[in-house]
């Protein structure tokens, strides 16, 4: 193997070492080879397969002298465990030696279908990658999210997957992890200094707005009496981009929508809570030809139910977000007024999140923002995108629109059949 100027060393340096430095501080069995033990320390210095380290970094991580580190690296190169990539720089071609798995803290949002899909994927991916997962439930509570952040710091996890809704506590949570020198991946709601993973909210809104505008143009000749936006203010400005994108998408397809009255309602809460907000709105304003842009599918389905109760289903057209199971079932119903729902595919989050976390922990370069894929689901393509859903009959029976009466659900199934 050719010699390089940067690889030269003085053999006499080895003679100047203190005995403890040459033999290590461990007093082991006399049958042990101290050289092999030192070689193990060099291998442990490389924390993942393919990691590249300069000689100085190997010395710092192993606390071995320069000549000892150099000789061991050269020996490991000949043994096929280490590669020399450039003068004084070495690459691990064997894999991590340390038996300790990474410990990742995962604070899930709460008990919603979306959160359950994300959690299922994260748990599966962590097990496959031999990552130790320490899980917490934020329970849609800012206070609980703060307590869980403190608990993860006490657990000394290597990285945190933070999935909590409240924009107002995000800076506090982020500061806790920053002080603990713990990297964070923020899911769906940005946290200062964290890597963001989640929706491209403006793009998702734009996608839904364009589709809703095209539907209104094709079915109502573009005549719209009012536009209702169901927002989620607690999630902060980023989620507001979803509504902004929807409005811009509508205006791109229906420029005259700019003159249409716009009403914003708070979409926070359960299906029943959002339904009650919409009932009051329809009693106060009366039913008229309405486009509804919903921040999520819970709001979209609540809006659909409210218009049905008022006997004005034909006066609404609704766009959802998330494309969860209930929305997919509704899209399969003939004559539905749910025009579409933008899919986020939360069942795929786990693979991407764990891969991103491992890249961060292995000190690989990662982008500051990672957007998930979005796709518009409509009655025409829902079975193509989600062909593995349960049969339509059993799906409609189990996830019929919440709040719909038994007779309405039966009519839905009869119409579908």
Alpha helices (runs of H) in 15-112, residue ranges in sequence order: 19-23, 34-45, 55-62, 66-78
- Check: CATH 3.40.50.460 for 201-343+387-416? no
pLDDT of residue 93: 79
pLDDT of residue 362: 85
Mean pLDDT for 104-115 is 94
Work out whether strand 195-198 and strand 375-377 pair parallel, antiparallel, or are unpaired.
Answer: unpaired
The Cα 299–Cα 294 span in angstroms is 6
The Cα 25–Cα 62 span in angstroms is 12
Would you call 338 helix, strand, or coil by DSSP? strand
pLDDT band at 252 (very low <50, low <70, confident <90, very high): very high
pLDDT band at 287 (very low <50, low <70, confident <90, very high): confident
Q: How many Cα neighbours within 13 Å face the side chain of 125? A: 20
8 Å CB contact between 240 and 231? yes
Domain coordinates of the chain in residue numbers? 5-92, 103-198, 201-343+387-416
Which residue did the predictor score with more confidence, 390 or 387? 387
The Cα 359–Cα 197 span in angstroms is 14
Mean pLDDT for 373-380 is 97
The Cα 96–Cα 91 span in angstroms is 12
pLDDT band at 141 (very low <50, low <70, confident <90, very high): very high
pLDDT of residue 5: 39
Which residue did the predictor score with more confidence, 395 or 228? 228
pLDDT of residue 275: 96
pLDDT of residue 81: 87
Q: What is the DSSP string of 196-225?
A: EEE--HHHHHHHHHHHHHHHHHHHHTT--S
Mean pLDDT for 153-179 is 96
Tell me what percent of the residues of the chain surpass a pLDDT of 90.
68
Q: Lowest mean pLDDT: which of 3-12, 40-49, 90-99, 202-211?
A: 3-12
In words, the CATH class of domain 103-198 is alpha beta
pLDDT of residue 30: 62
* Same CATH fold assignment for domains 5-92 and 103-198: no
290-320: b or e for each residue (b if 16 or more CB lie within 10 Å)?
bbbbbbbbbbbbbbbbbbbbbebbebbbbbb
Query: Is 13 a residue whose pLDDT tops 60?
Result: no
Mean pLDDT for 153-167 is 96
pLDDT of residue 192: 96
Would you put residue 386 in left (φ > 0), alpha (ψ -120 to 50) or beta?
beta
- pTM over 0.85? The answer is no
Mean of the per-residue pLDDT values of the chain: 86
pLDDT of residue 40: 86
Nearest of 391, 387, 353 to residue 160 by alpha carbon: 353
Segment 232-250, tens digit of pLDDT: 888 778 789 999 999 999 9
> Is residue 120 exposed (0-12), middle (13-18) or buried (19+ Cβ within 10 Å)?
middle
Quickly tell me which residue has 């069995």 as its tokens: 29
Long-range pairs of 27-30 with CB within 8 A, sequence gap ≥ 24: none
Fold of 5-92: Arc Repressor Mutant, subunit A (1.10.10)
Query: Is 15 a residue whose pLDDT tops 90?
Result: no
């Amino acid at each position: 193997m050719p010699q390089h100027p940067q690889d030269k060393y003085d053999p006499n340096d080895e003679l100047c070492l203190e005995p403890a430095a040459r033999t290590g501080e461990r007093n082991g069995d006399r049958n042990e080879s101290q050289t092999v033990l030192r070689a193990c320390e060099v291998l442990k210095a490389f924390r993942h397969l393919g990691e590249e380290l300069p000689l100085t970094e190997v010395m710092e991580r192993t606390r071995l002298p320069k000549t000892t580190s150099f000789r061991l690296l050269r020996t490991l190169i000949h043994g096929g465990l280490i590669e020399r990539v450039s003068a004084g720089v070495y690459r691990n071609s064997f894999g991590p030696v340390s038996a300790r798995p990474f410990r990742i803290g995962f604070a899930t949002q709460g008990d919603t279908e979306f959160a359950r899909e994300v959690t299922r994927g994260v748990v599966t991916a962590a097990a496959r990658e031999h990552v130790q997962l320490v899980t917490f439930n934020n329970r849609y509570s800012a206070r609980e999210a703060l307590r869980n952040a403190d608990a993860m710091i006490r657990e000394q996890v290597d990285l945190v997957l933070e999935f909590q809704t409240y924009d107002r506590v995000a800076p506090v949570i982020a500061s806790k992890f920053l002080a603990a020198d713990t990297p964070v991946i923020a899911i769906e709601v940005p946290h200062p200094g964290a890597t963001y993973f989640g929706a491209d909210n403006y793009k998702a809104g734009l996608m839904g707005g364009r589709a809703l505008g095209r539907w209104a143009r094709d079915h109502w000749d573009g005549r719209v009496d009012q536009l209702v936006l169901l927002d989620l203010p607690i999630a902060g400005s980023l989620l507001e981009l979803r509504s902004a994108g929807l409005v811009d998408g509508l205006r791109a397809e229906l420029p005259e929508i700019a003159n249409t009255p716009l009403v914003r309602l708070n979409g926070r809460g359960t299906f029943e809570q959002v339904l009650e907000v919409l009932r009051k709105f329809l009693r106060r304003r009366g039913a008229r030809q309405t486009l509804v842009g919903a921040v999520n599918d819970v709001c979209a389905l609540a809006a659909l139910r409210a218009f049905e109760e008022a006997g004005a289903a034909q006066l609404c057209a609704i766009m959802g977000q998330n494309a969860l199971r209930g929305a997919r079932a509704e899209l399969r119903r003939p004559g539905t007024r749910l025009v579409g729902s933008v899919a986020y595919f939360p069942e795929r989050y786990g693979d991407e999140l764990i891969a991103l976390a491992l890249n961060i922990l292995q000190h690989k370069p990662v982008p500051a923002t990672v957007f998930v894929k979005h796709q518009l689901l409509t009655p025409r393509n829902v079975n193509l995108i989600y062909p593995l859903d349960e049969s339509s009959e059993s799906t409609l029976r189990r996830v019929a629109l919440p709040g719909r009466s038994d007779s309405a659900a039966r009519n839905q199934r009869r119409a579908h059949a």
